[in-house]
Amino acid sequence: MATYDFIFSSLGLEEWCSSSHSDAPMSMAALLAKAKGGEVEQSLWDLPFPSMDALNESCAAFPQSRELTKGLEQGFLAIKDSLSVVLDPITQPLSWALDGTLYTMVTTPWWIVIPVLLALVFFVTKSWKHVFFVAISFIGLAFIDYYVYAMQTLAIIFVCAFLCVLLGIPIGIGMARSDLMQRLTIPVLDMLQTLPPFVYLIPLIFLFSVTESKLYGIAIILYAIVPVIRLTNLGIRLVDEDVIEAADAFGMTPRQKLFKVQIPLALPNIMAGVNQTIMMSLAMVVIASLVSAPGLGVLVLRGIRSLELGVGLVSGLGIVILAVILDRVTKASLARINATQKQ
Amino acid sequence: MPRTAKISIKSLYKIFGPTPEAALEYVKQGMGKTELLEAQNHVLALQDINVDINDGEITVIMGLSGSGKSTLIRHLNRLIEPTAGEIHFGDEDILSYNEAELRTLRRERMSMVFQKFALLPHRTVLENAGMALDVRGFKTRDFEDEAKKWLGRVGLEGNENLFPHQLSGGMQQRVGIARALVSNAPVMLMDEAFSALDPLIRSDMQDLLLELQGELRKTIVFITHDLDESLKLADHLVILKDGVVIQQGDPQNILLNPNDPYIIDFISDINRARVLRVRSVMVEPTSDDVSYAGDLLETDNLETVLSKSDGDVSLVYQVIRNDEQVGELHMKDLTRALVPVPASEERNNYSN
């Protein structure tokens, strides 16, 4: 006899209880109890919480808690195939983009890639100081033979951050224009932001094969897209109401208002979001090396797995250098936008 | 000049709150603003407004903050929708406009100048001035000449390529005025346009507006909380208090015959000699044998006359308009007109 027998007997459910057995495997505690045999008098002190397992002891038909996780797993596996049919073609371009960019950046000779990147830095910052700093960093990384890894990491960040911006800004605009959409989107963003990054790797591993690059691509995008959405929404909502009123008073259509007033005035905030998105992609690209993302993260992982202290530290330092470069360059371009936008 | 109403507002009501229609019934049954707020939790912003805005005149709507004047002006281009009432523009009913017609009205027939300037910070002065034309689909090079012309007219030549934040407040508002003029709309709505400026600049801007108006003859609706400003600019003055029009008409007439203690409070502080004009105190020419001490224009203010007469109350002046005599001014009448209206008791109690 178990503690909660009285519940089932008072409800007249004994018949239902004995009719079937929960098919979950027996728990360790149950096994031990069975091995010991015999009834033990229970004091109030040992009263178990009426959990699924405790109720199962009284009534064999009542499911055990491990059946919950098992059921979830089976349910997921059951829909997995049909989900893949839909998701695979949609996400396939991501694999192509990642593989293509990785291939291009790694196989193009260093004496083309580095100058092109420096030209890009000059184009967005218009500052020789930044170009010089980035040049020194790349030369340093290349000199210690981390060039290929650094380029792989950069290639993944470029693709993922670009897609985050491409998807995130329209979502943010939609949120700014509709309160309903904002109410529906914010819980999803909160969840994406609080979920530990390892957690979304779990379903992704089941859905896609670990050899496909879209697996880590999706993980990075899900993790990094949040700030650009939030700040686009915030930026547009913060646009000076007087200016919006003036736009209305001069007869702007909603579309004109969006492109001529709201987006230009929200640009500093949107760019701050892009900066955060890039930094978060960098953070995730390291974790994503667990699921075969190439780059500096692989070396960090090697440092941990085979206790190669030097490799781990140097590649960690390489990530810091990339982070500083990306941060400085995006902030410098943000400052350039801000300079033309003083109120 | 015949006065024709360009815009007429008829029994306009505006109530803010979740169910304004229901609250409107209470108001029509005579519930006041405070009771409505307490009992129904609705704000009565405008109550039974009837105003005709005449073509080619400056109509000034004056009231303190919270009197509903900014709400009222926003009804004219429907930035705010009324709860009840009618607004006619010429012989068209503005409230029946659909979205496209409303947009055309805002683009081509009504321009607006704002208290906080509301310029686009990321556009140059030239692009800001041409905003109305830009909205209609013109490219910068198409409206460049027009925008430059009006920027020059408001005294901003040479600043076309600066950004608004590089200009002072007064200059930014000049851009705001140029923007309204470039749209070439016959009606200009000015919402406390000069209130954010310091007094000297404000006075300059008032002069600029009067000078432009002398030439352009636009229909201007001007909102202000400043009595001196309203007396300087107004052809027609509407005084609002707590969402109700308490007096409207010729400003000189309001000054001489205030019909409400609230207005008396207002006007007890002002320099009457500077505001009152000869035409308000002159009388019909009585006889031919009076010897006139000199000629006055009917638009001269009494301060000018006082300094001309050197304070001599026995003099009589001839008043002329377009070289013809239209009346005469006795200095005795002038002195009488300058007797200040005492502020009401309540007000005196406050100040003690």
Give per-residue pLDDT as tens, B1-34: 467 888 999 999 999 989 888 888 888 888 888 8
Give the CA diameter of chain B.
71
Number of neighbouring beta carbons within 10 Å of residue A261: 23
Residue A338 has pLDDT above 70, yes or no: yes
Q: Please state the domain count of chain A.
A: 2
Same-domain pairing of A19 and A160 = no
The residue-averaged pLDDT of B212-233 equals 90
For residue A249, the chain B residue with the least C-alpha distance is B106
Contacts of residue A297, defined as CB under 8 A and 6 or more positions apart, other chains included, come to A153, A285, A286, A287, A288, A289, A315, A319
A60 or B87, higher pLDDT:
B87
| Final residue belonging to a domain, choices A63, A88, A112 | A63
* Nearest neighbour of A243 by CB, restricted to B112, B118, B179: B118
Same-domain pairing of A98 and A177 = yes
Structure tokens at B210: 């009067």
**In this predicted structure, what is the pLDDT of residue A227?**
96
Separation of alpha carbons B173 and A341, rounded Å:
18
* Nearest neighbour of A246 by CB, restricted to B102, B103, B118: B118
| Final residue belonging to a domain, choices A63, A92, A108 | A63
Same-domain pairing of A57 and A117 = no
Same-domain pairing of A121 and A262 = yes
Strands B84-89 and B92-93: antiparallel
* Phi, psi of B4, deg, nearest 5: -120, 140
Of A191, A340, A318, A221, which Cα lies nearest the Cα of A271?
A340
The CATH number linked to A225 is 1.10.3720.10
Pick the range with the lowest mean pLDDT from A207-221, A270-284, B147-161, B307-321: B307-321
Of A166, A165, A197, which Cα lies nearest the Cα of A293?
A197
Angle (CA) B232-B237-B243 rounded to 5° is 130
Average pLDDT over chain B, rounded to an integer: 86
The residue-averaged pLDDT of A298-309 equals 92
Same-domain pairing of A207 and A290 = yes
**In this predicted structure, what is the pLDDT of residue B270?**
79
Residue B115 has pLDDT above 80, yes or no: yes
* Nearest neighbour of A243 by CB, restricted to B104, B110, B120: B120
**In this predicted structure, what is the pLDDT of residue A178?**
93
- Structure pTM? 0.81
Same-domain pairing of A54 and A76 = no
**Which range scores top for mean pLDDT: A1-5, B105-109, B194-198?**
B105-109
Closest CA–CA distance from residue A262 to any residue of chain B (Å): 10
Same-domain pairing of A58 and A91 = no
**In this predicted structure, what is the pLDDT of residue B346?**
46
- Chain A CB within 8 Å of residue B163 CB: yes
Domain span at residue A34 reads 5-63
Contact B64, B70 (CB under 8 A): no
Same-domain pairing of A23 and A81 = no
The residue-averaged pLDDT of A158-164 equals 95
Whether residue A248 and residue B189 make contact (CB cut-off 8 A), yes or no, is: no
Strand order in the sheet with B5-16: B43-54, B5-16, B84-89, B92-93
The residue-averaged pLDDT of B41-64 equals 91
Same-domain pairing of A246 and A164 = yes
Same-domain pairing of A106 and A250 = yes
Same-domain pairing of A235 and A317 = yes
The residue-averaged pLDDT of A292-315 equals 92
Q: Is the ipTM of this complex over 0.90?
A: no
The dihedral formed by the CA atoms of B49, B55, B56 and B59, expressed in degrees to the nearest 10: -10
Contact A227, A273 (CB under 8 A): yes
- Alpha-helical (H) ranges within chain B are 20-28, 33-35, 69-76, 99-104, 125-129, 131-135, 140-153, 169-182, 199-216, 227-233, 251-256, 261-267, 272-275, 278-281, 302-309, 331-337, 345-351
Sign of the C-alpha dihedral, residues A245, A247, A253, A259? negative
pLDDT level of residue A343 (50, 70, 90 thresholds): very low
Same-domain pairing of A239 and A193 = yes
Whether residue B118 and residue A242 make contact (CB cut-off 8 A), yes or no, is: yes
Separation of alpha carbons A220 and A156, rounded Å:
9
Contact A240, A343 (CB under 8 A): yes
Measured between alpha carbons, how far is residue A278 from residues A119, A154, A284, A293, B235 in Å? 19, 10, 10, 16, 61
